[in-house]
Structure 1
Amino acid sequence: MPEQTKQVWLLARLCLRLKSSTLMLIIIIFLKNVQESSGETLKYDDGSTYIGEVRNGKPNGKGFITGRPGSKWAGRSYDGDWVDGKIHGFGVYKNLSGDIYAGQWKFDKAHGKGFMKWASGSSYDGDWVDNKRHGFGVSKDGAIYAGQWKFGKRHGKGFYKWSPGSKCAGDSYDGDWKDDKRTGFGVYRYSSGASYDGYFVDGKKRGLRIKN
């Protein structure tokens, strides 16, 4: 990858972190223009268009794809690495809803390190396996969770802080999780300063160990 393009990829990730959708769009257009100036064009029967490096009639290397209304890629785009016609390596993907993923891919699936920014404003930065959050990552949707994940669910050790304005605003939990629920040993801290450290099952306290 040329040094200039590497720098743009790094800037793209920073823009996602800073919630700068306008600058992100500028970067995607820039990358598209870079590839238009040096790559081949593949036009598919469904109306999708690929611009970039090609080998044996398939996208291979760096390339950009999008599509007109009614095509497979209508309203969606991907700019990044390809191997034998599949998304593989590093790239930026945007779907019809406006969600953006920037990170590593393995044969058309988010796999490795990646940052996802949903159109709703929620985000996730961390490990992915087969399009699911898996490993360690940080999610933000008003509330914040930093910890382990297993196939899209909070599972293992993790820290959670409730969002401002919620029923439990200011409270936090640090401990074990299973299938998206507080299960195992953990410490629950109240906004009042009191805390509970003990066992949880399906998100509920089991036993009383409250400290003031």
Structure 2
Amino acid sequence: MKQILIITFAFLLFTTPLFAQVQESGVLYLWEISEEKIWKSFGDDETQQKYKGEIKDGKPDGLGIRLFLDGTKYMGQWQAGQKHGQGTLSFADGEKLTGEWREDKEWNIIKYDADGRLKDKYVEGVKLVNNRKAGVLFFRQEQDIWGWYESGDEVKDYKYVGEVENGKPNGWGLFTYPSGEMYEGEYKDGKTHGQGSFNYPDGKRGVGEFRENKPWNVTEFDNESNIIGEYLEGVLKVEVIEEGILFTYKEDGKWIWLENGDVGDGGKYEGQIENEKPNGRGSLIYRNGTRYVGEFKEGRWNGEGTFTFPDGEKWVGEFSKDAPWNISWYDKDGKIIAKWSDGVKQ
């Protein structure tokens, strides 16, 4: 029932475990009000752009994913609501831009088409044209020495397809492992160096900047595009996240949490767990149809969240110990009915 999200990141001769650290994460929706774009904690998945990840001051800030209505997706770092740092913008037709962004603009970026062919590069915000020769190389060990060769075994050897200079990968290329892993991105003198993406057979991936075969500024995602790990300047940020399902019912005025149960007894929770209680981000559905989505602490609503009634009315804002704290109460048409300020209804 419980899942510990742990992933190992390996490239060539370098193997290091990579774990997740997610802080103050949540979900935001992009609203267009009077020609102004504003992020809010509630919205419609079918008609609005959606963000999932770290948040600061009500805007995307840190690591997160933005989903566009046309199928475009950006996964990576944010600052004050803009793409800023390492990330990948993927289009529905398969084209991708991956690398470093600054204030929503391409900075050090590789653009390639749906077949993985290099289309463009941006270096410090300037688009470049690359004229290196393309080729095929194999990487294997001979007499205890690892090296690059122009011929090899398609099944047993590591294979590189891309730009070559001085008999080594230099520039952009695709490197495949016999075990199914794949790296696509920049090389320098035969080593991963620059922007790239390391992809696992099960759908997990590490995206960002590599230096001399090692992750430098790299964010890792699981096969559902959830952030599960991060390197910053070569240093691993470590935290284990436990997620799962709990059931709850009320006994003698207290809510009891169990690993097994039935939503008909009281409610069902899905999300982050600590000490066998909801702690962190999650959703709780009660048997009467009401739903709370947001932050929990020791089994209680605590922090930013949305409580939705069966008739469509909502409480949106900050909760404290299962009670409204700084909350706006909306009717089903989105009009404000009432407000709470520091726990007092206005």
TM-score, length basis structure 2? 0.33
Which has the larger share of strand? Answer: 2
Larger Rg belongs to: 2
Q: Which has the higher contact order (CA 8 A, sep 6+)?
A: 2
Higher helix share: 1
